[in-house]
Amino acid sequence: MIDPRVLRDDPDRVRAAQAKRGLADDVVDRALSADESRRKAIVEFEAKRGEQKRLGKLIAASGKGGDADEKQALLAQTKALAVEVKAAEAAQNEAAEEWQAALLAIPNLAADEAPAGGEDNFAVLETIGSPRDFATEGFEPRDHLELGRMLGAIDVERGAKVSGSRFYFLVGIGAQLERALVNMAMDQAREAGFTEVIPPSMVKPHAMEGTGFLGQAADDVYRLEGQDMYLVGTSEVPMAAFHSDEILDAGSLPLRYAAFSPCFRKEAGSHGKDTRGIFRVHWFDKVEMFVYTTPEEAEAEHQRLLGWEKQFLDNLELAYQVIDTAAGDLGLSAKRKFDCEAWIPSQGKYRELTSTSNCTEFQARRLDIRSRGESGTAPVATLNGTLCAIPRTIVAILETHQQADGSVRVPKALQPYLGGRELLEPTVG
RNA sequence: GGAGGCGUCGCCUAGUCUGGUCUAUGGCGCCCGCCUGCUAAGCGGGUUUGGGGCUACAACCCCAUCGAGGGUUCAAAUCCCUCCGCCUCCGCCA
């Protein structure tokens, strides 16, 4: 939820932000008029309610020793008023709901620095490393599925048999690879001062709504039948709701958490996209960084999160680029988003491996997370960033570090997590 | 799943049977001040959150807030209903 005061005092800024995302701005006027009628309704209700309370006291006083006629008169008067109070209250609630609905429909205001436009209008901020030149090395790179089959690491056939398309088994060295990556990510996070968390991956609607995943993104979310619960698509959801309805001590900020959880996604809008292998799947595990900090510190923290993501990818010796996502591709909650895209040899392009968003106070307002400082209470800022999404990381490692015979070189930083192994060798032809 | 108990302004707590003087009691903690070689003790005051009015986003006034929502009533922390959460016991279980 954006700051209602900004909407009221500077609606043109909100209109401009809508335009930058390529969205209509009629919701701004709807919110403004809803706010006006809401406040009018409040004044009305409060006046009537105040009068009711005043009369109620007189009745109580007349109860002892007052004359009975006077009490009867008061009762008649206040009885009629009670009906009006009830009506005024209903009107107030209705107006407040309308206002709330309009406000919830407005996405976070995109940063001035974020490029305008949609998915393809991103800006490349930097490129780290360079894609391997397999032509010069004299062999055709295999894709991760083929490599995974040769290593006995990835089994998508049985994944499909047991669970359907976009499911997989990690087997043998594949399973070990996941554990190694998770441990490496968690160790890095802990050394950077993060608190490790294993959150629940099923949540109530409020958590989903608060993080902004029940709007237009709802199609991608699994809802449990007859349970009014959801499977999370990212641990950003439980981690944002972790401190919901709390007032944090300003001195305790920033609070940095590294959460490991499974992620479930319907991938509703991506029929036929990335169908081969485990690049786009319905379920995967992920280590996610989540930070609560002050709005003033949010931008600097966003850069730090990006730095930690880059550190992890650097340690895996991957070639990647950092992009500044365009306003139209930000998602509801983010003010600005950076993606790290690793070079995927079999696809001949950079693909998203990690993503970090600065959600400013947007989620905190919805989830009612504030901090208490010198000048009272104020919403905090929340930020999130992928440290390691397992399948895509495995894809990038296998394809990037493969050799002509189908073996895969283990990046130095990962070796300690695989019992010192320097090479993964094919077990099948 | 069955039975019972409980949920009060940071923490603990009074109030709920018997609806109105509850503008929610007291303690702890915290903040400000006084006193005081220092510290402690003592004394005085303050201390939920959200919203609205008016405005300098101050002060002030008002409304809501006793787990959440609904109901009864002129009036609800208090009575009734539904839901949520916690605790105890039983059953089941990784």
For the segment 33-52 of chain A, residues whose CB is within 7 A of strand B: 39, 42-43, 45-46, 49-50, 52
The pLDDT of A90-113, averaged and rounded, is 91
ipTM (interface pTM): 0.86
Residue-number span of the structural domain to which A245 is assigned? 119-424
Q: Are residues A391 and A361 in the same domain?
A: yes
The per-residue pLDDT for A214 is 83
Q: Are residues A85 and A130 in the same domain?
A: no
Residues A224-263: pLDDT tens digits?
A: 887 788 999 999 999 999 999 888 888 888 999 999 999 9
Q: Are residues A166 and A77 in the same domain?
A: no
CATH of the domain at A20: 1.10.287.40
Q: Whole-number Å distance, CA A354 to C1' B44?
A: 59
Higher pLDDT, A28 or A228: A28
**How confident is the prediction for chain A on average, in pLDDT?**
92
A229 touches strand B (CB under 7 A): no
A60 touches strand B (CB under 7 A): yes
Query: Is a pLDDT exceeding 90 seen at residue A382?
Result: yes
Higher pLDDT, A72 or A387: A387
Q: Are residues A82 and A145 in the same domain?
A: no
Lookup: nucleotide whose C1' is closest to A36 CA: B52
- Out of A53-67, A70-84, A259-273, A329-343, give the one with best mean pLDDT: A329-343
| pLDDT band, very low/low/confident/very high, at A346 (cuts 50, 70, 90) | very high
Write out the catalytic residue numbers of A. Answer: 265, 280, 352, 355, 392
| pLDDT band, very low/low/confident/very high, at A116 (cuts 50, 70, 90) | very high
Q: Which of A50, A69, A104 is the last residue of a domain?
A: A104
Q: Are residues A279 and A353 in the same domain?
A: yes
Lookup: nucleotide whose C1' is closest to A90 CA: B70
3-state SS, one letter per residue, for chain A: CCCHHHHHHCHHHHHHHHHHCCCCCHHHHHHHHHHHHHHHHHHHHHHHHHHHHHHHHHHHHHHCCCCHHHHHHHHHHHHHHHHHHHHHHHHHHHHHHHHHHHHHCCCCCCCCCCCCCCHHHCEEEEEECCCCCHHHHCCCCCCHHHHHHHCCCEEHHHHHHHHCCCCCEECCHHHHHHHHHHHHHHHHHHHCCCEEECCCCEECHHHHHHCCCCCHHHHHCEECCCCCCEECCCCHHHHHHCCCCEEEEHHHCCEEEEEEEEEECCCCCCCCCCCCCCCCCCEEEEEEEEEEECCCCHHHHHHHHHHHHHHHHHHCCCCEEEEECCHHHCCCCCCEEEEEEEEECCCCEEEEEEEEEECCCHHHHHHCEEEEECCEEEECEEEEEEEEEHHHHHHHHHHHCECCCCCEECCHHHHHHHCCCCEECCCCC
Q: Which nucleotides of B are covered by protein (CB under 7 A)?
A: 20-21, 49-53, 57, 62-64, 70, 74-75
> Closest protein residue to B20 using CA and C1' atoms?
A60
Residues A67-87: pLDDT tens digits?
A: 667 777 777 888 888 888 888
Per the structure, how many domains does chain A have? 2
Residue A113 lies in a domain: no
Q: Whole-number Å distance, CA A202 to C1' B82?
A: 25
Residue A110 lies in a domain: no
Query: Is a pLDDT exceeding 80 seen at residue A62?
Result: no
A372 touches strand B (CB under 7 A): yes
Residue A109 lies in a domain: no
